[in-house]
Amino acid sequence: MNRAAATRGASGRLRVVAPPVLVGVLAVVGWELTVSLGRIAPFILPAPSAIWDQLVEQRGNVLDAALASGANALVGLVAGTLVALLAAMLASRFSFLGEVSVPFAAVLNALPIIALAPILNNMFDSTSSVPRRLVAGIIVFFPVFLNTLRGLREVDPTHRELMASYAAGGWTFARLVRLPGALPFVFTGLRQASSLAVIAAVVAEYFGGLQDGLGARITSAAAFTAYPRAWAFVVGACLLGLVFYLGTLLLERLLMPWRTRPAL
């Protein structure tokens, strides 16, 4: 019985993984053929083979740049998440803050990175990583805050009555009931924020500061018309975003093992 269940589980995972992998392979092959047969200039669209050659050749530089951008994205993700969790708990505890905070969070979410990053770069030293981390934290705040607030407000009436019978205070109720019950919503926001943190950190690097991140390497390579190399760093950014997303899924699995298959 266990062997049959394991076989069914493996076949089920294969059915989930195989279609996107197949589509990805076909897309790369079609891309290669389109560029080769259509004789498309590299400055318009490099071939995947040329990008792969540069990725292999520049693997050390791509890794170093990914670590630099990843550090900024990680700090922004952690800081933005902590602030969002605290703000959501306050907003769920006090109705006035709940009414004011949602429009304020929407304003933050509407701020364009390309407008925010240069302003923050001018506020800090040119060699500081603080602006990039602030941009990442601001972008992370909205999805985590909104999803957490929604989860904190959806409380089972039975749990509410039980804690009321124990004469539990507001913060005790939030710590023991609201926040644990909101964990699925928190991780929904984190899954969105994990990739957004990488995007924000990389885009913020386009506007000055230390030239050690993926964004700076992309703009530098493009400025020297080394387009396959620029695309190699783009691939590095994509892989970094994937690492962050998978890390969030792993954290969710560890903190909520009863959810055997978290929603993507």
Buried b (16+ CB within 10 A) or exposed e, 32-50: beebeeeeeeeeeebbbeb
pLDDT in tens, 190-232: 999 999 999 999 988 887 767 788 988 999 888 888 889 999 9
One-letter amino acid of 123: M
Q: How confident is the model at residue 264 (pLDDT cuts 50, 70, 90)?
A: very low
Most confident of 58-72, 123-137, 147-161: 58-72
The predicted pLDDT at position 184 comes to 86
**Residue 137 in this model has a pLDDT that exceeds 70:** yes
Q: How confident is the model at residue 22 (pLDDT cuts 50, 70, 90)?
A: confident
Q: What is the mean pLDDT of the chain?
A: 81
DSSP 205: G
Torsion of CA 65, 67, 68, 73, to 10 degrees: 120
CATH of 44-255, one of 3.10.20.740, 1.10.3720.10, 3.30.930.10, 1.10.357.10: 1.10.3720.10
